[in-house]
């Protein structure tokens, strides 16, 4: 593992100036550094933003929670202003040690994962290059890279309708989190620094999350289905994550048959799977979890 | 040159902590193809790399390695051919680990790819890995005991099942490492993270064409082994060779990825088992066809091949037995011994089929196992003699603890039983010499200094030996100081494998301590004007048995003995007195004693998702006499957790011909968050062959846990469970690609 340059940002403008020079933001490093260690990300220069006080605040603002992007998941899980459901989901990520380093911003922006990519150097060299590493093929059988972002919180916050503040040299803007997660797995909206995440403070019983994960700790989730119910409307917001390139919202009517749920799962889950399971099982499991989420949310 | 202070700043260092003046670092270059002819290896670019001082390829080693002399097939560094991804091809030495790694990266390797053999079911008849095994079978073993055909013809019911057991690895926390130092006096010192310093000592001498007297092997602290550090590896041999070449100390520590390539883990197995049962539910016959995936080299695979069949019947009374066992070569890292070596896979098959039969015959699974249990003094049809057994008590314990457990829909309790050896009666390097030796010296200050050749790999073997010595001497354990881990300074012990240390080294320690005790008592008796037989050795004192007021302090007694003898010391050795079977392979299986275990597991299954939760594991184990209750309990917990991983989440295999996984993020060791409640029950049934009755606790308790979980799942969902690990997709019938079709049929 060789890291050539790490610049510790003194201020947001300082960090932005470095981004202009091609530096990559480094928050907790739990996603970035393993990639450097495995040689997936080589020769990058980093700008460390984790210590910027502007990015480390948590406060309630009316019906929203505003969380600085550099707030760690450990801290968020202990925050008294954070809704119960979000504290609980933070505790579901990774391990206690990783949660003390991993930031919420990094959790939403973590790279897609693939069982052919997130491997040590000798392993990857032996298996040959793929689209992501200078090759012309996908070992998982795709016609392009199908690495899948396994973000639990990305999926949950997508269902909850969160938004984010992005700061670029051109200024700051607030956009829906959805904008980070394109449906077609094409390049997503990036650039700049994610400064803050704005999260609707939903009631605990208005949020349901069901997951598939091999072990109770360390493992990335194989599948996440999150749902929220918005007061006063008959809308359920369902998002699926971990088994597709980015978390994705799926339309689901308030009342629907098992067949409709199964079709919806079938449509959402790509045939190319880069995790532990084959698509047939993931689709089956998605339908099961969707039914469970909706059952929990329906009055 | 004086001996460096290796103990500072670490009180108890691992190999990676050791540093000696002038030390340089080695890095291995590994194959990136599973099967290929080596056309050329160009070390020149590495030698031109700044900081690199030497490089070698396979031509530097004339002989092949392998701890079993009849199946030595593994070059230290590949020669002519590579046979798995990750196989060491060359080694580069640098003045820093970074320089060595940079140099290793530049070595140019030209390989001509050969068709790889990637599954065990396709191995026979595929491109041979080794010229002398054209069918890719290490040895086709067929053994038959008792009237098999006649037994099956008399059967009331014949049950058949085919079972797949996935490969897994040891996952010891400390990676393998070695530090070699060719000394000015032309002797080789090697520190290694090994379970078997004695094997390393002799095998290294052979590989390097050295007189064994010129080799000294030392084991610093070893951070776990579980069987994975039982053989002699490339890193040990290359460090030694390079140190001899360079006249400098050479250290090498494997990365986690390299440890996964080194492997020697649990053999993947496919077993077809037939069981003949008569109308009174006695087992008339067991007949197994066993296929083992051995990976690229033999290693200890011959032992595995025999163990896979030899332990099929024990702990049950079975009239006849037959097995065919074939360990095939495939282009993956070599499989080898892992906790419960050789018998875990067949136990899974037998216990699964028995449970299936019990359901079919409407028998209570525990009561049936009790009715079939071998008794003390009996022998299995293949000649394994049972000196003591607490098997029925183990079954009673798990039955008692589970009798009032309510089970909801999708929930069930499953049971299984097992037995395991307490050391192999015959050594890997055939000879009639003692398997373990011990030396003990009494010091005039009242301390006893015990020296053994045992490798403590974290299991606390030395503590157990300390207690046995103290018990023999009638003194508190704190008065015994144990030294080990240096073949120059310590007598021989064959190694920490086959659950042999407590029984074999323990017996040697008792022999030595018993002899020392007599010496001290004799010296005291002279002084007290009495006979040694009339004296007792109590903590700190020697007393006349019938006159407790009369005696002397222990320190005085030792001083009197020193006056007479110059030094007060004694030695002891242990050689098993067990007969081998009079058939080929009859030396593989017999043991001085057998431990017994029974397990129950309570599981609930999510039938929609195929996921399952193991809520409780009850594990009762007959360890003979428990020398140290805490350590035995610790082993039971460790076995239960390792078995849980094998049953549910741990799996090693090949992806694109490469070992997969190769890191701890992916490899599924159960975490603290996954653990069930583990109820460890220690059953003490002392064995006459054991030291103060002790048997073993390190491996045997693993055996029944995997089938107990599988049996519980089968009962919970009313389905055939024929494969391990029980992943959710397989449980629901998805994603069986690459798996053999397996089935069970009754009646
Ligand atoms: C062992 C392990 C287990 C894990 N298990 C889970 C799991 O179960 N579920 C789950 O959802 N996740 C899991 N994760 C992922 C974890 O949540 C992420 O690694 C972590 O949240 C990333 O945060 P970080 O601060 O370390 O990001 P970094 O590694 O520092 O950065 C991640 C990415 O985000 C970019 N970035 C970070 N902050 C900003 C910002 N403010 N503005 C712009 N770009 C930014 C970086 O440039 C980089 O591309 C696991 C990780 C590990 C190591």
Q: Let me know: does A197 contact A67? Beta carbons within 8 Å.
A: yes
Whether residues B592 and B698 share a domain: the answer is yes
**Nearest-angstrom CA–CA distance, A159 and A236:** 9
Residue whose CB lies within 8 A of the most ligand 1 atoms, among B661, B663, B665, B668, for a mutation test = B665
What is the value of ipTM here, to two decimals? 0.95
Q: Let me know: does B266 contact B347? Beta carbons within 8 Å.
A: no
B651 lies in some domain: yes
Question: What pLDDT is stored for residue B738 in this prediction?
Answer: 45
Query: A146 C-alpha vs ligand 1 centroid, how far in Å?
Result: 19
Q: Which residues are near ligand 1 (CB < 6 Å)? A: A 24-32, 49, 69, 93-94, 98, 101-103, 105-107, 109-110, 150-153, 193-194, 218, 220-221; B 665
Query: What is the pLDDT averaged over residues B324-331?
Result: 98
B9 lies in some domain: no
Query: How many Cβ atoms are within 10 Å of A80's Cβ, its own excluded?
Result: 6
CB of B733 less than 8 A from some CB of A: no
CATH number at residue B453: 3.30.365.10
Whether residues B670 and B622 share a domain: the answer is yes
Question: What pLDDT is stored for residue B188 in this prediction?
Answer: 98
Q: Which residues of chain B does A125 touch, with a Cβ-Cβ cutoff of 8 Å?
A: 32
Residue whose CB lies within 8 A of the most ligand 1 atoms, among A35, A106, A193, for a mutation test = A106
The percent of residues in chain B predicted with pLDDT above 90, rounded, is: 95
How far apart are the CA of B734 and the nearest CA of chain A, in angstroms?
A: 6
Tokens 């919970």 belong to B716
Taking only the tens place, the pLDDT of each residue in B118-169 is 999 999 999 999 999 999 999 999 999 999 999 999 999 999 999 999 999 9
Taking only the tens place, the pLDDT of each residue in B577-614 is 999 999 999 999 999 999 999 999 999 999 999 999 99
**Nearest-angstrom CA–CA distance, B676 and B601:** 9
Given B253, B274, B304, which residue is the final one in a domain? B253
Q: Out of B32, B668, B727, whose CB is closest to A126?
A: B32
Counting beta carbons within 10 angstroms of the beta carbon of residue B433, is it exposed (0 to 12), middle (13 to 18) or buried (19 or more)? exposed
Average pLDDT along chain B: 95
B363 lies in some domain: yes
Q: Let me know: does B361 contact B582? Beta carbons within 8 Å.
A: no
Q: Which of A197, A186, A113 is nearest to A153 (CA)?
A: A197
Whether residues B154 and B281 share a domain: the answer is yes
Q: Let me know: does A87 contact A77? Beta carbons within 8 Å.
A: yes
Residue of A93, A115, A123 to mutate, interface with B, max B Cβ within 10 Å: A123
CB of B665 less than 8 A from some CB of A: yes
Q: How many domains does chain B have?
A: 3
Q: What angle do CA B601, B602, B607 make, to 5 degrees?
A: 120
Locate the chain B residue with the closest alpha carbon to A279: B735
Q: Out of B662, B674, B729, whose CB is closest to A281?
A: B729
**Nearest-angstrom CA–CA distance, A128 and A135:** 8
Whether residues B413 and B397 share a domain: the answer is yes
Taking only the tens place, the pLDDT of each residue in B210-253 is 999 999 999 999 999 999 999 999 999 999 999 999 999 999 99
Locate the chain A residue with the closest alpha carbon to B32: A126
B130 lies in some domain: no
Whether residues B730 and B597 share a domain: the answer is yes
Locate the chain A residue with the closest alpha carbon to B28: A122
> Which residue's CA is the nearest one to ligand 1's atom 12?
A151
* A74 Cβ contact partners less than 8 Å away, ≥ 6 residues apart: A90, A96, A99, A100, A102
**Nearest-angstrom CA–CA distance, B434 and B504:** 9
User: Chain A residues contacting B, CB < 8 Å?
Assistant: 34, 95, 115-116, 118-120, 122-123, 125-128, 139, 212, 214-219, 276-278, 280-281, 284-285, 288-289
Alpha carbon B86 to chain centroid, angstroms: 23
Whether residues B476 and B604 share a domain: the answer is no
Q: Out of A115, A215, A280, whose CB is closest to B649?
A: A215
CA distance readout (Å), B17 to B5, B183, B201, B222 = 12, 20, 22, 12
Whether residues B288 and B334 share a domain: the answer is yes
Question: What pLDDT is stored for residue A231 in this prediction?
Answer: 72
B430 lies in some domain: no
Whether residues B507 and B421 share a domain: the answer is no
Domain of B210 in residue numbering reads as 15-114+176-253
Q: Which residues of chain A does B607 touch, with a Cβ-Cβ cutoff of 8 Å?
A: none
Residue whose CB lies within 8 A of the most ligand 1 atoms, among A31, A36, A113, A211, for a mutation test = A31
CB of B85 less than 8 A from some CB of A: yes
Query: B665 C-alpha vs ligand 1 centroid, how far in Å?
Result: 15
Q: Let me know: does B193 contact B305? Beta carbons within 8 Å.
A: no
**Nearest-angstrom CA–CA distance, B191 and B202:** 14
Query: B678 C-alpha vs ligand 1 centroid, how far in Å?
Result: 35
Question: What pLDDT is stored for residue B740 in this prediction?
Answer: 53
pLDDT-derived band at B736 (thresholds 50, 70, 90) equals low
Query: A39 C-alpha vs ligand 1 centroid, how far in Å?
Result: 17
DSSP symbols for B522-540: HHHHHHHTS-GGGEEEETT
The answer, yes or no, to whether residue B507 has pLDDT greater than 90, is yes
B119 lies in some domain: no
Query: B154 C-alpha vs ligand 1 centroid, how far in Å?
Result: 66
Whether residues B591 and B690 share a domain: the answer is yes
Whether residues B71 and B100 share a domain: the answer is yes
Q: Which of B328, B418, B398 is nearest to B135 (CA)?
A: B328
CB of B674 less than 8 A from some CB of A: yes
Taking only the tens place, the pLDDT of each residue in B258-312 is 999 999 999 999 999 999 999 999 999 999 999 999 999 999 999 999 999 999 9
> Which residue's CA is the nearest one to ligand 1's atom 16?
A107
B139 lies in some domain: no
Whether residues B182 and B85 share a domain: the answer is yes
B2 lies in some domain: no
Whether residues B444 and B410 share a domain: the answer is no
Given B574, B607, B628, which residue is the final one in a domain? B574
CATH number at residue B238: 3.90.1170.50
Q: Which residues of chain B does A122 touch, with a Cβ-Cβ cutoff of 8 Å?
A: 30, 32, 86, 257
Question: What pLDDT is stored for residue B735 in this prediction?
Answer: 57
Ranges of chain A whose pLDDT falls below 70: 1-3, 184-190
Given B574, B592, B622, which residue is the final one in a domain? B574
Question: What pLDDT is stored for residue B1 in this prediction?
Answer: 39
Lowest mean pLDDT across A133-142, A224-233, B374-383, B403-412? A224-233
Q: Which tokens belong to A12?
A: 């947001």
Question: What pLDDT is stored for residue B127 in this prediction?
Answer: 97
Query: What is the pLDDT averaged over residues B478-483?
Result: 97
The answer, yes or no, to whether residue B87 has pLDDT greater than 70, is yes
CB of B449 less than 8 A from some CB of A: no
> Which residue's CA is the nearest one to ligand 1's atom 47?
A25
């Amino acid at each position: 593992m060789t890291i050539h340059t790490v610049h510790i940002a003194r201020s947001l403008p300082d960090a932005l100036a470095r981004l202009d020079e091609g530096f990559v933001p480094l928050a907790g490093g739990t996603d970035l550094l393993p990639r450097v260690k495995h040689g997936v990300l080589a020769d990058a220069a980093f700008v460390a933003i984790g210590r910027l006080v502007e990015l480390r605040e948590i406060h309630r603002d009316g019906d929203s929670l505003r969380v600085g992007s550099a707030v760690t998941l450990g801290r968020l899980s202990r925050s008294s202003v954070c809704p119960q459901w979000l504290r609980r989901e933070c505790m579901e990520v990774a391990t206690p040690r990783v949660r003390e380093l991993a930031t919420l911003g990094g959790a939403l922006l973590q790279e897609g994962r693939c069982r052919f990519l997130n491997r040590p150097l000798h392993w990857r060299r032996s298996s040959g290059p793929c689209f992501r590493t200078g090759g012309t093929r996908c070992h998982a059988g795709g016609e392009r890279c199908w690495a899948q972002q396994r973000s639990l919180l990305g999926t949950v916050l997508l269902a909850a309708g969160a938004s984010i503040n992005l700061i670029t040299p051109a200024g700051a803007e607030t956009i829906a989190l959805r904008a980070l997660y394109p449906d077609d797995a094409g390049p997503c909206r990036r650039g700049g620094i994610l400064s803050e995440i704005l999260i609707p403070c939903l009631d605990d019983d208005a949020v349901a999350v069901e997951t598939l994960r091999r072990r109770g700790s360390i493992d990335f989730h194989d599948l996440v289905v999150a749902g929220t119910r918005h007061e006063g409307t008959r809308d359920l917001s369902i998002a699926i994550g971990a088994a597709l390139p980015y978390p994705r919202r799926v339309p689901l009517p308030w009342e629907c048959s098992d067949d409709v749920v199964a079709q919806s799962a079938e449509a959402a889950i790509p045939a190319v799977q880069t995790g532990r399971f084959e698509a047939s099982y993931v689709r089956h499991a998605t339908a099961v979890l969707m039914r469970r989420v909706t059952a929990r949310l329906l009055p | 040159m004086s001996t460096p202070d290796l103990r500072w700043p670490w009180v108890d260092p691992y190999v990676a902590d050791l540093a000696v003046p002038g030390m340089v670092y080695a890095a291995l270059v590994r194959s990136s193809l599973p099967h290929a002819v080596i056309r050329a290896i160009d070390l020149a670019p590495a030698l031109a790399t700044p900081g690199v001082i030497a490089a070698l390829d396979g031509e530097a080693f004339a002989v092949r390695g392998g701890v079993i002399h009849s199946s030595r097939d593994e070059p230290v560094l590949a020669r002519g051919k590579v046979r798995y991804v990750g196989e060491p091809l060359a080694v580069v030495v640098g003045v820093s680990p970074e320089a060595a790694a940079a140099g290793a990266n530049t070595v140019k390797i030209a390989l001509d790819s050969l068709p790889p053999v990637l599954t065990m079911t396709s191995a026979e008849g595929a491109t041979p890995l080794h010229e002398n095994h054209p069918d890719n079978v290490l040895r086709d073993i067929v053994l038959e005991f008792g009237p098999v055909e006649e037994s099956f013809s008399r059967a009331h019911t014949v049950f058949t099942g085919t079972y797949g057991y996935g490969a897994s690895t040891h996952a010891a926390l400390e990676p393998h490492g070695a530090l070699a130092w060719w000394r000015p006096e032309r002797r080789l010192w090697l520190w290694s993270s090994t379970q078997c310093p004695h094997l390393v000592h002799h095998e290294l001498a052979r590989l390097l064409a050295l007189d064994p007297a010129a080799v000294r092997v030392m084991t610093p602290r070893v951070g776990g082994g579980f069987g994975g550090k039982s053989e002699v590896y490339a890193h040990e041999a290359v460090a030694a060779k390079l140190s001899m070449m360079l006249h400098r100390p050479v250290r090498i520590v494997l990365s986690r990825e390299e440890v996964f390539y080194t492997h020697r883990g649990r053999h993947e197995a496919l077993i077809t088992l037939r069981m003949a049962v008569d109308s009174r539910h006695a087992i008339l016959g067991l007949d197994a066809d066993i296929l083992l995936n051995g990976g690229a080299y033999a290693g200890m695979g011959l032992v595995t091949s025999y163990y896979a069949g030899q332990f099929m019947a024990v702990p049950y009374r079975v009239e006849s037995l037959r097995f065919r066992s074939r360990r095939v070569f495939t282009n993956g890292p070599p499989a080898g011994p892992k906790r419960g070596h050789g018998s875990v896979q067949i136990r899974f098959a037998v216990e699964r089929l028995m449970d299936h039969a019990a359901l079919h015959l409407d028998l209570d699974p525990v009561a049936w196992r009790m009715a079939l249990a071998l008794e003390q003094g009996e022998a299995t049809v293949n000649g394994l003699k049972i000196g003591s057994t607490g098997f029925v008590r183990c079954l009673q314990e798990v039955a008692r603890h589970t009798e009032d457990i309510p089970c909801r829909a999708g929930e069930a309790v499953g049971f299984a039983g097992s037995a395991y050896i307490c050391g192999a009666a015959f050594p890997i390097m055939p000879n009639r010499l003692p398997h373990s030796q011990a030396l003990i010296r009494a010091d005039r200050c009242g301390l006893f200094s015990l020296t053994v050749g045992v490798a403590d790999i974290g299991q606390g073997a030395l503590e157990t030996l300390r207690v046995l010595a103290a018990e023999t001497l009638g003194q508190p354990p704190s008065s015994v100081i144990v030294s080990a881990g240096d073949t120059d300074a310590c007598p021989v012990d064959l190694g920490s494998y086959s659950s042999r240390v407590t029984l074999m080294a323990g017996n040697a320690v008792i022999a030595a301590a018993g002899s020392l005790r007599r010496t001290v008592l004799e010296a005291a008796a002279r002084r007290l004007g009495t006979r040694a037989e009339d004296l007792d050795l109590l903590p700190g004192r020697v007393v006349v048995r019938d006159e407790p007021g009369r005696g002397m302090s222990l320190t005085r007694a030792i001083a009197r003995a020193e006056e007479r003898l110059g030094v007060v010391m004694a030695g002891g050795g242990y050689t098993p007195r067990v007969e081998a079977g009079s058939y080929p392979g009859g030396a593989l299986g017999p043991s001085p004693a057998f431990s017994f275990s029974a397990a129950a597991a309570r599981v609930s299954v999510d039938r929609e998702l195929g996921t399952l939760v193991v809520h409780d594991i009850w594990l009762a184990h007959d360890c003979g006499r428990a020398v140290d209750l805490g350590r035995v309990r610790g082993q039971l917990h460790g076995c239960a957790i390792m078995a849980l991983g094998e049953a549910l989440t741990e799996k090693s295999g090949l992806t694109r011909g490469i070992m997969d996984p190769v890191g701890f993020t992916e490899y599924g060791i159960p975490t603290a968050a996954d653990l069930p409640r583990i109820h460890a029950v220690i059953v003490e049934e002392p064995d006459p062959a054991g030291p103060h009755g002790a048997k073993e606790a390190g491996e045997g308790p693993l055996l029944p846990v995997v089938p107990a979980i599988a049996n519980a799942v089968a009962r919970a969902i009313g389905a055939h469970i024929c494969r391990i690990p029980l992943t959710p997709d397989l449980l629901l019938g998805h994603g069986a690609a690459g798996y053999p079709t397996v089935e069970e049929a009754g009646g």
